[in-house]
Structure 1
């Protein structure tokens, strides 16, 4: 049932712009851009190009539609339904309810666990063609359909109006579950999460009587459906119904032009990519590197820190990859931006005793970036495209994958730094696709109270993502075992998982991990839902009870109905 956080590579860009043009009519953008791409009557907004279409096992394209980006999970549903307008969704859901069919939802295909494709699923509702983006003058907000891919969203918003929403770097991640899980990216320290700009959400839900209805919930204080908006601002996908579209507007924004309703990204950024050789990386040097990173972001992530203009990813690969790498972006429009980047690189290298070099190998979410060994100044959209389209994790559709996550509220204790080095430098395995990426965080994200929206992780300064990528099913056991052993030992003092405390702050629901509800891997007293949602889980359960009382929308870690 997971409304996935990602989308399938290569789908929908041409159609998104074609649809947007249809929505806005044939007139050129006005000088103010106020009503360009604004929505006329519904019949013109939602032209029915082909849907809904049911694809079954007898159709040649079936095999391309029963898996997502993670090739470990392939389903065998009776049918996959493709839709391309919001009014088609309710009919597909009602048919599944009436037929007592287990239905799951794919907004793009990057759910990292088996929440969409598993043996119990009979119907998959594929929303990847539901991908229009336009200005809705009635709601005075930018509407984004759930299958719209992030890079397409960024390009339309920026090229038409000079604005953006601060989502992730992976170009084909779809809006669906990315937003509902509290999506974040390169601009989060300056601007916050994409869900922080969510004004409204439209959801197809199923009542206790089995009747399907479509609900629009806003953040307005007097909206009787407001709790449904709250739940979709970080409460995870696939829990309450089928999201068909989101509306975005900055809190407190005034005016009626899309140019005024969302934040503006920096016009230019500095982009840097450096590496260090594993061959010269001792345990002490490794400890220095990771603690320098942790020290920088724990010290420079307050709401008014000038360093919020800087975002950085440190890719800690298994040593068989040959290099460790770091990619950094700085808002070039802030005073002293270039010096800030130089100071940051000096802080990370302090006491290391190694010279940084070019990033010449793929690692984690980044491809080789040798041309950025010396920082380069680029237009923001060019840098965004570059980071999105050189991401092998997204551009290679044949990977098998395994993920885990953790939020960090403090620098690495010595014991954790030693455990990181131990598993990344193991000689008994050769795992060039294994890595842990440290990602900068905090800043504007942490200016919102943990209970103000469903997304609760408002006290972390950087985060961690275990990401293993490989092609051959014969390597499944080696990569999965390495991830599990590594993670469990790193958090051995807290039952094998990063329980919320002074150092760690739980896990990111958009990197789902079924091990979190398995007592073999989580022996703590902290259940999976507290790791994802902390104290917001009881309220999420009440929203579940109101909008999905029969638990029609469910997966391995969906919100449970209250007892």
Structure 2
């Protein structure tokens, strides 16, 4: 048997043996969670992450149930020199919550939500859908994210943007305390009074850098009625006037971006510009502007009137029902809430379908059953699916950038660079400002609080082996480069991680401080992965050496 054949035969056996030995050691240490190894019937399922571009084969997956489980896994990994990754919901866009031949510390089973007065303790594996639903039953909410299958653990450590951001701030802004397992397997209580520098670091630097957080304490907001408004351009397609359509879209996009800070803080919005009309499959770019208003429909119409009257040619699809924050969250994920599905108001169902589905990017179909037993097939969306191959990137506008020129570059790119239409490919624009800006920057490590909005470049497709994958990836890469080459953008948002960016892009001037904090709490770099913050000791203070004459005078 040649060496190559020998390795092909014995290497998987050795790896399987190694994983089972690790499992037995954990069991002997009294771990309460399940340990899934290669060969187990659950291994394929629990090896999968949300970005299905990556097909990793970890050494084992440890489904922790308690903080004590986490401590035991980290301690054994350090003792046996085993690399590990930390995973809450598996939404890390570059797949860095897993890897080949590592121990995956899976926190999805730690998903308790305990409400006490105006605060709540939430474990990292709680999905946003469950968080919003349970809090709303107690008349509370938090400014969380926008995707229903994202878990709280990764969201809050990266900052956390959602459709209440301009009123409630980022998710990390309502964080009051955490329990964290450090590199020495100690369970720390971290807040503004205890380990203040560590508390600052974990709010905005991304997950997995400083320890494993096993519990989060949030300050809660009172729940509110919300009004959802969707604005689309264009509605009618004039095939003989492409240039006029393009010029008009540039003006409308520029007006939207220039006036984001003029909106009442009760408005948070995101826009989406796509190279295709993904509902008619026509080769025309489409601009969507989605608004969530914390308040009733009449107040929303009043506070938005100045904007819509200044932009003739827009079509406003007004969601006629006032909904709760949780119901609005479901609608923005392409899910019709059960309460609304059960209504016999046949006039409202088309409005629900129109609002919740048209601005989203379709990936395949799913069946929807209405109150009367009839069914409709509606598209799955990138937020609601359990996993799709995809690529994202992000950036912030530079200070004093010419919005009109930037809008022209954006619209020109989507007009003249069309990937294959079956990919959900688009640029999202997330509004900031409001109370995101008002939060004092020393309170968290999120660096870009002064920005007015955030770009997210996205492409999603159905088949992992799609032969056009390179085309989809290049669309993202080239789009970002065009804006960067024109000096329009800088930085990035760590929740929308892209491995082609540098760490300095995400952390700005906070990077040195973050490296120093990393050195203080994890000098041996136990918590490391492809884009983790490296430890770096602080520079020693400069020593003043007296002049020779000064020294003699003292003598």
Describe how 1:73-472 pairs up with structure 2 within 5 A: 73-119=54-100, 121-135=101-115, 141-160=119-138, 162-207=139-184, 212-220=185-193, 223=194, 225-249=195-219, 262-266=220-224, 268-277=225-234, 279-280=237-238, 282-300=245-263, 307-319=264-276, 321=278, 322=282, 323-333=286-296, 336-347=299-310, 349-350=311-312, 354-356=313-315, 372-373=317-318, 375-390=320-335, 392-408=381-397, 413-426=403-416, 429-431=419-421, 432-472=423-463
Count of residues in Structure 1 that have an aligned counterpart in Structure 2:
448
The alpha-carbon deviation at position 447 of structure 1 amounts to 0.9
Query: Could you say which residue in structure 1 is the equivalent of 2:519?
Result: 545
Other-structure match for 2:478: 485
Contact 1:410 1:461 in 2 (8 A): no
Provide structure 1 residue ranges, at least 5 long, that are not aligned to the other structure: 1-48, 250-261, 301-306, 358-371, 500-505, 517-527
Q: Is this contact kept in 2: 1:52–1:84, CA < 8 A?
A: yes
Q: Secondary structure at the match of 1:336?
A: helix
Question: C-alpha distance in 2, partners of 1:334/1:283?
Answer: 32
Q: By how many angstroms is 1:188 displaced?
A: 0.8
Find the aligned partners of 1:427 and 1:456 in 2 and give their Cα distance. Answer: 32
2-side partners of 1:99 and 1:450: how far apart? 40
Taking the aligned partners of 1:191 and 1:413, their CA distance within structure 2 comes to: 26
Where 2:69 maps in the other structure, the secondary structure is: helix
Q: Deviations over 1:215-257 (max 9, x none)?
A: 111112xx2x1211111111211111111111113xxxxxxxx
Deviations 1:416-458 (A, max 9, x none): 2222122211266324411001122110011123233111221
Could you tell me how far 1:486 is from its partner in structure 2?
Answer: 1.1
Per the TM alignment, residue 132 of structure 1 is displaced from its structure 2 partner at its CA by 0.3
Q: Distance in 2 between matches of 1:243 and 1:214?
A: 9
Relative to structure 1, the CA distance from residue 398 to residue 236 in structure 2 (aligned partners, 3 Å threshold; closer, same or farther) is closer
Give CA deviations for 1:63-87 in whole Å, capped at 9, x if unaligned. Answer: 1112211111121111011112222
RMSD of equivalent CA atoms: 2.4
* SS at 2:132 equivalent: helix
Partner of 1:512: 497
In 2, distance between residues paired with 1:374 and 1:230? Answer: 39
Runs of 5+ unmatched residues, structure 2: 1-29, 336-359, 361-380, 538-555
Among 514, 530, 536, the residue aligned to 1:562: 536
2:48 to 53, 64, 67: 67
Mark the structure with the bigger radius of gyration.
2
The 3 A distance-change label for structure 1 pair 288 and 538 is same
Structure 1 SS opposite 2:333:
helix
Q: TM-score, normalised by structure 1?
A: 0.75
Match of 2:505 among 531, 537, 542: 531
In 2, the alpha carbon distance for the partners of 1:373 and 1:248 equals: 33
Cα separation, 2, equivalents of 1:561 and 1:291: 42
Q: SS state of the match for residue 382, structure 2?
A: helix
- The alpha-carbon deviation at position 136 of structure 1 amounts to 5.8
